[in-house]
Amino acid sequence: MNSNEISEKFRNAGVTVAPDRIEKLMENYKKFSVPQNEVERTVMRTLANENGIDITALYTKTVKIGDLKSEDEWVTLMAKVVQLWDNDHEAVSQVGLIGDETGIVKITVWKKAEIPLLLEEGKSYLFKNLVTNKYLDRIQVAATPNTEIEEIKEDIQAKGKEVTLSGAIVDVINGSGLIKRCPECKRALVKGACGNHGKVEGIYDLRLKAVLDDGKAAYSILAQAEIVTKLTGITVDKAKEMATEALDQSVVNVEIVKKVIGRYFTFKCAPIDTNYLVKEIIEVI
Amino acid sequence: MAENANTNTSSNPQKFERETAKRVFAHEFKGAVPVEKLGNDQFEPAYVQTALGEKINRVFVVGVATEAEDVSNGEVMMRMRVADPTGVFIVYAGQYQPEARDAIMNLRVPAFVAVVGKAHTYAKGEQVYTSIRAENVNVVDEKTRDRWVKETIEITRERIKNSKASDDTKKSYEGMVETAQKAVSANSTTPPAEK
Ligand SMILES: [Zn+2]
């Protein structure tokens, strides 16, 4: 990196540093025969401290999700929140999936990151300084205290590497059907309470967790309300009605089970960890 | 101690761990025998093995329920007969399968049904009886049944091809597949339902 490139990095982080000031600092190290990258690092650290900015802000790269490879890298992403999951970990504020046109990746927003906003499904954000890590060989990203997240106006198209799966649904997993989510963080409520926000007035939602099996392999699939409605004809409103009438939320699940168990489907899915998120129904037999 | 660390169970950790629901015709399933467990692990899944060598823990079958009856004897138990073009599956659902049990109880035979369950064997003297302990039972339609038969024909043909069974055995199962094939060909004269 030359002084101009370093200057550019600072400009990206919102700080103006003249290239000749950078050159001067670099000059100081010349006589010590320090490796060039160590010189760059030291100079940048010095300038970052002077300007009161975090060094990681300078090392971050704006990348596409499909290019994420190595762990412990600082990256900046523009991505859409594809799905938020239930999260039972005290230290975690939110967990889910974000995607851009090149892929989908799991994101964990740690509580200690103190991100002032809560991510919402379907909204796009600029994620500054996420850190990458690997779990079971799969890359993930996390928001830490160095991370900043802001909502953006662009609608990022989240396209995972989609796969087509065909088979019969052989099981519907607990947690399917009508659920309530926290109005603030969208977590599924457990006994009317959110892990983050305690007792709240929940918002109804529909979802399906099921097993699609083609006789050769079994796949864990997830479907959001829109897909559940297409598969079963049950809308969130209809499900609410059913539950109110029966004074029992589980009637919805029973009805979903009747509609899907033992039937053949072809789905276009986005692979996520060990699950497949249904994006599109291609065929129903 | 035997060097047997590589038991082939440590598959890719990303893989969703669940026994695949095998497709098998009633005639092949009926001849299956229990596979002895390797260890003392009570969580080790139980398998049966068919004459073509297929090891089965879970099955998925679609056929016609011809009989459903309450066979409770001290413990609650429903039994159902499910016919495919090659034979009959005996399906049980007891107290630990309440949803499947209710589904069988509410059934009006004959009906097209889909059954997901665990392969089960019961020995009486020299005779081994196979059955399915249902996990899920649902009423489906003819189209689903036909799809299952076609799929099971394909999978069984592949199984015969890769089987180490004797030529005579393979030949007899090819005959079974032919029978199934005729059954769906006879059905395919009905026009496909519009979408
Ligand atoms: Zn909440």
Dist. CA A12–CA B26, nearest whole Å: 68
pLDDT of residue A160: 62
Minimal CA separation from A263 to chain B, in Å: 6
Of the partner residues B18, B135, B144, the one whose CB lies closest to the CB of residue A264: B144
| Residue A231: other Cβ atoms inside 10 A | 21
Residues of A in contact with B156 (CB under 8 A): none
Confidence of residue A161 (pLDDT cuts 50, 70, 90): low
Residues A175 and A261 in one domain: yes
Taken in order B47, B51, B54, B56, the sign of the CA dihedral is negative
Joined tokens for residue B84:
């495919």
**pLDDT tens readout for residues A94-138:** 988 899 988 889 999 999 999 999 999 889 999 998 999 987 677
Bridge partners (DSSP) listed for residue B69 = B79
Residues A130 and A176 in one domain: no
Q: In terms of DSSP bridges, do strands A74-84 and A61-62 run parallel, antiparallel, or are they unpaired?
A: parallel
pLDDT of residue A273: 67
Weakest-pLDDT range from A39-43, A133-137, B69-73, B121-125: A133-137
Q: Is the pTM of this model over 0.80?
A: no
Q: In terms of DSSP bridges, do strands A218-224 and A203-213 run parallel, antiparallel, or are they unpaired?
A: antiparallel
Confidence of residue B13 (pLDDT cuts 50, 70, 90): very low
- Over chain B, what is the mean pLDDT? 87
pLDDT of residue B3: 33
Average pLDDT over residues A175-182: 91
- Residue that wins the pLDDT comparison between A85 and A102: A102
**pLDDT tens readout for residues B93-103:** 999 999 999 99
Q: Do B114 and A138 touch (CB under 8 A)?
A: no
**Chain A with chain B: Cβ pairs closer than 8 A:** 75
Q: Do B136 and A264 touch (CB under 8 A)?
A: no
Q: pLDDT > 70: what percent of chain B?
A: 85
pLDDT at B144 over 70: yes
Residues of B in contact with A163 (CB under 8 A): none
pLDDT of residue B1: 36
Of the partner residues A138, A273, A285, the one whose CB lies closest to the CB of residue B144: A285
Residues of A in contact with B115 (CB under 8 A): 262
Joined tokens for residue B115:
């059954």
Dist. CA B105–CA B103, nearest whole Å: 5
Does B105 reach chain A within 8 Å, measured CB to CB? no
Per DSSP, A112 falls in state: G
Weakest-pLDDT range from A162-166, A168-172, A175-179, B142-146: A162-166
Nearest of B84, B82, B85 to residue B100 by alpha carbon: B82
Residues A170 and A280 in one domain: yes
- Residue that wins the pLDDT comparison between B17 and B69: B69
Residues A204 and A218 in one domain: yes
Please write down the HEC assignment for all residues of A164-176. Answer: EEEEEEEEECCCC
Q: Do A136 and B19 touch (CB under 8 A)?
A: no
pLDDT of residue A274: 75
Residues of B in contact with A211 (CB under 8 A): 18
ipTM for the assembly? 0.86
- Residue that wins the pLDDT comparison between B56 and A175: B56
Of A95, A116, A151, the residue that ends a domain is A151
Length of chain B: 195
User: Which residue of B50, B59, B107, B140 to mutate against A (max A Cβ within 10 Å)?
Assistant: B140
Domains of chain B and CATH, by start: 17-184 (2.40.50.140)
In a domain? residue A134: yes
- Residue that wins the pLDDT comparison between A3 and B173: B173
Residues A230 and A251 in one domain: yes
Minimal CA separation from A96 to chain B, in Å: 17
Q: Which amino acid is at A65?
A: I
Q: Which residues of A touch B (CB under 8 A)?
A: 136-138, 168, 170-171, 211, 213, 215-220, 257-258, 261-264, 273-275, 285
Does B60 reach chain A within 8 Å, measured CB to CB? yes
Residues A171 and A255 in one domain: yes
Weakest-pLDDT range from A71-85, B107-121, B133-147: A71-85
In a domain? residue A222: yes
Average pLDDT over residues B180-193: 71
Does B20 reach chain A within 8 Å, measured CB to CB? yes
In a domain? residue A158: no
Map residue B163 onto helix, strand or coil: coil
Residues A46 and A140 in one domain: no
Q: Tell me whether residue A23 is exposed, middle or buried, using C-beta atoms within 10 angstroms of its C-beta: 0 to 12, 13 to 18, 19 or more.
A: middle
pLDDT of residue A235: 97
In a domain? residue A260: yes
Of A104, A120, A151, the residue that ends a domain is A151
Joined tokens for residue A238:
């209809």
Residues A54 and A143 in one domain: no
Nearest of B106, B122, B117, B109 to residue B30 by alpha carbon: B122
In a domain? residue A229: yes
Dist. CA A74–CA A63, nearest whole Å: 10
In a domain? residue A248: yes
- Residue that wins the pLDDT comparison between A54 and A279: A279
Residues A54 and A70 in one domain: no
Confidence of residue B14 (pLDDT cuts 50, 70, 90): very low
Residues of B in contact with A275 (CB under 8 A): 16
Angle between helices A19-30 and A36-51 (to 10 degrees): 130
Q: Do A171 and B144 touch (CB under 8 A)?
A: no
Confidence of residue B189 (pLDDT cuts 50, 70, 90): low
DSSP string, A228-246: HHHHHS--HHHHHHHHHHH
pLDDT at B8 over 70: no
Q: Do A261 and B113 touch (CB under 8 A)?
A: no
| Residue B74: other Cβ atoms inside 10 A | 5
Please write down the HEC assignment for all residues of B31-86. Answer: CCEECCCCCCCCCCCCCEECCCCCEECEEEEEEEEEEEEECCECECEEEEEEEECC
Q: Do B138 and A264 touch (CB under 8 A)?
A: no
Residues A103 and A52 in one domain: no
Dist. CA B21–CA B152, nearest whole Å: 12
E strand or H helix at A139: strand A138-143
Residues A100 and A132 in one domain: yes
Of the partner residues B19, B20, B138, the one whose CB lies closest to the CB of residue A258: B138
pLDDT of residue B16: 64
Tell me the CATH number at A258.
Answer: 2.40.50.140
Minimal CA separation from A224 to chain B, in Å: 20
In a domain? residue A157: no
Confidence of residue B111 (pLDDT cuts 50, 70, 90): very high
Contacts of A193 by beta carbon, 8 Å cutoff, 6+ apart: A199, A200
**pLDDT tens readout for residues A230-262:** 999 999 999 999 999 999 888 999 999 999 999
Per DSSP, A72 falls in state: S
Maximum distance among all Cα pairs of chain B, rounded to whole angstroms: 63
Weakest-pLDDT range from A9-23, A101-115, B18-32, B144-158: A9-23
Length of chain A: 285
Residue of B nearest to A264 (CA): B144
Confidence of residue B10 (pLDDT cuts 50, 70, 90): very low
In a domain? residue A156: no
E strand or H helix at A8: helix A3-12
Nearest of A150, A100, A142 to residue A126 by alpha carbon: A150
User: How many domains does chain A fold into?
Assistant: 3
Dist. CA B63–CA B84, nearest whole Å: 5
pLDDT at A208 over 70: yes
- Residue A108 domain boundaries: 61-151
Minimal CA separation from A280 to chain B, in Å: 16
Residues A15 and A99 in one domain: no
Contacts of A182 by beta carbon, 8 Å cutoff, 6+ apart: A189, A194, A196, A197, A200, A202, A203
Joined tokens for residue A23:
């050159």
pLDDT of residue A136: 67
Of A14, A34, A58, the residue that ends a domain is A58
Alpha-carbon B21 to chain mean position: 8
Joined tokens for residue A99:
């995607």
Dist. CA A13–CA A67, nearest whole Å: 22
